[in-house]
């Protein structure tokens, strides 16, 4: 059975303190790995898609990377507005999306 785990469960950072979130997966066949941001009371907002090991994508202070077993979301010099839950999801060859439980990020001013 395909599985996605994320760590840490929660992370508190000071403004400007860079860090990384981890998404580990086991999947029968990976078609893509997706990162989403979810604010309280809102639906997930799409950030990135990664397709193959070694691939990297960047958007503002966020950079996502992918290996054969995990993905990292690096946050450089975060700001309070980056506070949210970050979800990763894998799409397998059965056309099924499997989401991880998310990492709750709090960035303190």
Partner 1 sequence: EAGVAQSPRYKIIEKRQSVAFWCNPISGHATLYWYQQILGQGPKLLIQFQNNGVVDDSQLPKDRFSAERLKGVDSTLKIQPAKLEDSAVYLCASSLVSAGVSNQPQHFGDGTRLSIL
Binding region for partner 1 (CB under 8 A): 4, 31-32, 34, 36, 41-46, 49, 51, 87, 89, 91, 95-102
Nearer to partner 1, 78 or 100 (CB): 100
- Give bridge partners of residue 25 from the DSSP assignment: 4
Nearer to partner 1, 42 or 79 (CB): 42
The DSSP output letter for 53 is T
What is the DSSP annotation of 2-49? -EEEEE-SEEEEETT--EEEEEEEE-SSEEEEEEEEE-TTS--EEEEE
Q: How far is the CB of 29 from partner 1 (least distance, A)?
A: 12
Q: How far is the CB of 34 from partner 1 (least distance, A)?
A: 6
- At 80, phi and psi to the nearest 5? -55, -30
Nearer to partner 1, 17 or 60 (CB): 60
């Amino acid at each position: 059975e395909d599985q996605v785990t994320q760590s840490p469960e929660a992370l508190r950072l000071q403004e400007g303190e860079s860090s990384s979130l981890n998404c580990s997966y086991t999947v029968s066949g990976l078609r893509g790995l997706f990162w989403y941001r979810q604010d309280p009371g809102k639906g997930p907002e799409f950030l990135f898609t990664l397709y193959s090991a070694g691939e990297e994508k960047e958007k503002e202070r966020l950079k996502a990377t992918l290996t054969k077993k995990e993905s990292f979301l690096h946050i450089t010099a975060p700001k309070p507005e980056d506070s949210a839950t970050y979800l990763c999801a894998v799409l397998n060859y059965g056309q099924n999306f499997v989401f991880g439980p998310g990492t709750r990020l709090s960035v303190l001013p």
